[in-house]
Amino acid sequence: MQPSHTTPADNTQAHGQQHPIGLYLKIWGLLFVLSTLSYMVDYFHLQGYLRWFLIITFMLLKAGLIVAVFMHMLWERLAIIYAILLPPLCLLVFIGLMAAEADYTFLSRVVFFGRGPQ
Amino acid sequence: MATPTASSTVTPTGNTSLTVRAWRELNSDWGSDKEAFKNVPWGKAMMWIFLLSDTFIFSCFLIGYMTVRMTSTDPWPLTSDVFALEIAGQHIPLILIAIMTFILITSSGTMAMAVNYGYRGDRKKTAALMLTTAILGASFVGMQAFEWTKLIEEGVRPWGNPMGAAQFGACFFMITGFHGLHVSIGVLYLSIVAFKVWRGDYESKSMESKGMESKSAAPTDGRNYQIVEITGLYWHFVDLVWVFIFAFFYLW
């Protein structure tokens, strides 16, 4: 998308984030469409990898649009973009650790509960 | 915000690509031994840092939910059916959650426009749009209360439920409860700021008397509507969290 914007420094009429209203309306419309699509995934009972792939794709697109345009990250300086958006990447490691641990717990439960009463 | 130093306003011209320029800016911003977040009012930087910490809290909840769902040997309740409603004799899966999603997105849209009108100096439109946002937020909380009531009546408890894995209730009440609390606080926050905007607290005269007129780089007429953008950041974050809850808790 071509950002139709002015940076705070060269804005003369007002200060801060100043963008045409139309931009917000377009993003709003897109968010509506994406939400409808992700609801459709459930409505049509898509299952398996296709379902997960679509859910995550629509989720990331919506999150990206909200952060980039509504929260104005697109027009912030790189210094604050990196300070805010890089730390959450640690969570990927956390998710990986917990998923591995959960697999292990699940297997031990299957083994333990699978024996039945003794 | 202090007046920006030369390094922040200098725009290198020539053939340097946008990426190279941005990286140079990053280097000089962090290396200038002063403020790293140039042209970012302190209130906004602090709100971002708070939201970052909140991201970690919600992530912990969602990761905890992932863990108990993966480890449970009982089948997880089918959210599609649990959150279905009978409307005019029709059985529609997940409809209430879909409506709540659309309401929250709509409120994000009105909030974004409120920020825009704030910076244009349109006091009344800003206050009206913020109030609309607050009302939409309150209706979201109302629907959540309805949803909680329905599930509690159906026997869902934090320690068990009739539909499947016992952990379902704990995850549901914890995650949606904490999100609902954020929405409720957001409604309060929005109402307070909307009232202050409407009263003219952020106009030049009242800002000068408090010594709080904007000190950012651009000419401001002494007006300072940054608070609207800061409130907006919080509100968009609440919507952002819902995007993840909707995907992982309701749709997965």
Interface of A with B in 24-83 (CB under 8 A): 24-25, 27-28, 31-32, 35, 38-39, 41-43, 45, 51-52, 55-56, 58-59, 62-63, 66-67, 69-72, 76-80, 82-83
Q: DSSP strand E in B185-249: where?
A: none
Q: Is the dihedral of CA B46, B48, B51, B53 positive or negative?
A: negative
Q: With beta carbons less than 8 A apart as the criterion, state whether B147 and B180 touch.
A: no
- Provide the pLDDT for residue B201: 87
- Provide the pLDDT for residue A118: 46
> Considering CB atoms only, which of A51, A71, A99 is closest to B70?
A99
- Provide the pLDDT for residue A24: 92
- Provide the pLDDT for residue B210: 61
Residue A77 DSSP symbol: -
- Mean per-residue pLDDT over chain B, rounded: 86
Q: What percent of chain B has pLDDT over 90?
A: 58
CA atoms within 13 A on the CB side of B137: 30
> Which chain B residues are within 8 Å of A13, Cβ to Cβ?
120
Sequence-ordered list of residues with C-beta below 8 angstroms from that of B54, at least 6 positions apart, any chain: B182, B237, B241
Task: Say whether B160 sits in a helix, a strand or coil.
Answer: strand
To the nearest whole angstrom, how far is the Cα of B56 from the nearest Cα of chain A?
A: 7
**Which tokens is A30 given?**
């897109």
Q: Assess A86–B contact: CB distance below 8 Å, yes or no.
A: no
Contact B40 A56 (CB under 8 A): no
Per-state percent for chain B, helix, strand, coil, to nearest 5: 70, 5, 30
Q: What percent of chain B has pLDDT over 70?
A: 87
Domain ranges (residues) in chain B: 1-38, 40-251
Q: Which of B129, B123, B234 has its CA nearest to residue A25?
A: B129
Contact A21 B102 (CB under 8 A): no
Per-residue pLDDT tens over the stretch B7-59: 444 555 566 788 899 888 888 887 776 777 877 888 899 999 999 999 999 99
A12, A36, B131 from B125: Cα distances, Å: 21, 29, 10
Long-range pairs of B84-87 with CB within 8 A, sequence gap ≥ 24: none
**Bigger pLDDT: B80 vs B174:** B174
Task: Say whether A78 sits in a helix, a strand or coil.
Answer: helix
Q: Could you give the CA distance from residue A15 to residue B214 in angstroms, rounded to a whole number?
A: 9
Measure CA B83 to chain center.
24
Q: Assess B113–A contact: CB distance below 8 Å, yes or no.
A: yes
- Provide the pLDDT for residue B207: 64
**Closest chain A CA to residue B78:** A42
Domain ranges (residues) in chain A: 1-77, 86-118
Q: What band does A9 get if pLDDT is binned at 50, 70 and 90?
A: very low
* pTM of structure: 0.83
Q: Can you tell me the mean pLDDT for B154-176?
A: 92
Tokens 């909840």 sit at which residue?
B61
Number of residues in chain A: 118
**Which tokens is A109 given?**
């439960």
What is the C-alpha radius of gyration for chain A, rounded to an integer number of angstroms? 22
Long-range pairs of B149-154 with CB within 8 A, sequence gap ≥ 24: B151/B82
Q: Can you tell me the mean pLDDT for B165-190?
A: 95
Q: Could you give the CA distance from residue B117 to residue B127 in angstroms, rounded to a whole number?
A: 9
Long-range pairs of B147-150 with CB within 8 A, sequence gap ≥ 24: B147/B83, B147/B96, B147/B97, B147/B176, B148/B173, B148/B176
A38, A116, B86, B154 from B89: Cα distances, Å: 24, 44, 6, 19
Q: CA angle, A98 as apex, B183 and A103 as ends, to 5°?
A: 125
Inform me whether the pLDDT recorded for A6 exceeds 70: no
Per-residue pLDDT tens over the stretch B178-234: 999 999 999 999 999 999 999 988 887 666 666 565 555 444 566 788 999 999 999
Per-residue pLDDT tens over the stretch B116-130: 999 888 899 999 999
> Which chain B residues are within 8 Å of A78, Cβ to Cβ?
22-23, 25-26, 29
- Provide the pLDDT for residue B206: 66
Q: Can you tell me the mean pLDDT for B121-147?
A: 95
Inform me whether the pLDDT recorded for A84 exceeds 50: yes
Q: Could you give the CA distance from residue B85 to residue B79 in angstroms, rounded to a whole number?
A: 12
- Provide the pLDDT for residue A7: 44
Tokens 């403020």 sit at which residue?
B35
Task: Say whether A66 sits in a helix, a strand or coil.
Answer: helix
Contact B108 A62 (CB under 8 A): no
Q: What is the largest CA-CA distance in chain A?
A: 80
To the nearest whole angstrom, how far is the Cα of B77 from the nearest Cα of chain A?
A: 15
Contact A8 B30 (CB under 8 A): no
Q: What band does A114 get if pLDDT is binned at 50, 70 and 90?
A: confident
Q: Which CATH class is domain B40-251?
A: mainly alpha
Inform me whether the pLDDT recorded for A39 exceeds 70: yes
- Provide the pLDDT for residue B230: 95
Contact A12 B219 (CB under 8 A): yes
Contact B244 A70 (CB under 8 A): no
Q: Could you give the CA distance from residue B63 to residue B69 in angstroms, rounded to a whole number?
A: 10
